[in-house]
Structure formats: structure tokens, C-alpha cells
Amino acid sequence: MAQSSSLYLAGFEATAIAIAYVLHDLGHHPEHQDTIYNEIQTQLSGKELTMDLINGLSFLDSVVIESLRLHPFLPIIDRITTRDYEVTVYTSFIYSVNENQLKKIQFIANVYF
């Protein structure tokens, strides 16, 4: 129970940040603002707002998903390799997995690099 307020605030902050990034991205793409506005007007005109109607806003859903892809909450990617890869970061660091090494290694990368 001692951490319940922290969990509440963490969830609130994540939601607020996601909304802020969606609005930021829409601010840079006014053509998509018009598309979302028209979708809302078409789908919700004269109807009571319900979760089913909100879930039916497919373009809005796509915009939120794309914004979350561009601005992830957890800025790392965790993958396990299944074949040979060469990863170059800033051209000064090269890490390569080859036949002599284990195939299934865990690779974690920060998405902001």
C-alpha cells in the first residue's frame, strides 16, 4: 500500500506524456488534425460517447500507435538474435555476431541513439 500513490502517479504521468506527444505530433501535421476531426464528426455525430465508439475511431487509433512508436515510454529494445547481425552505432562501435559465437544472445539497444 505504501507504493500505491507512486503507481498511480506513474500511470498518470505516462498517460499525460502520451497525450502530449500525440498533440505535439498532430501540431506538426495539421492535415492529420483535419482527418481526425472529420472522423470524430462522422462517427460521433448525435450519438452518446461510448468506449465502442471511441474504439471505432481507426485513424485516431493509428495516430496514437504511431506516436507511441516514435516516442516510447521505455526507450530500449530487447531482442534475442536468431541469425548473424552487425550493429553499427556512431560508426565507432561495431558489434557483430558470427558463427563462432552463440546465436541466441540478448541484445539491448537504446532507441534514442
Radius of gyration of the chain (CA): 21
SS3 content of the chain, % helix, strand, coil (to 5): 50, 15, 35
pLDDT at 63: 94
pLDDT at 94: 46
Pairing mode of beta strands 93-96, 86-89: antiparallel
pLDDT at 40: 92
pLDDT at 98: 52
Report, as ranges of residue numbers, the positions in the chain whose pLDDT lies below 50: 1-2, 91-94, 99-100, 102, 113
Give residue for cell 541466441.
104
Instruction: Give the residue extent of every domain in the chain.
Output: 4-70, 76-110
Give the three-class secondary structure for 74: coil
pLDDT at 34: 94
- The torsion angle over the Cα atoms of residues 95, 89, 64 and 55, rounded to 10 degrees, is -10
59 touches 40 (CB < 8 A): no
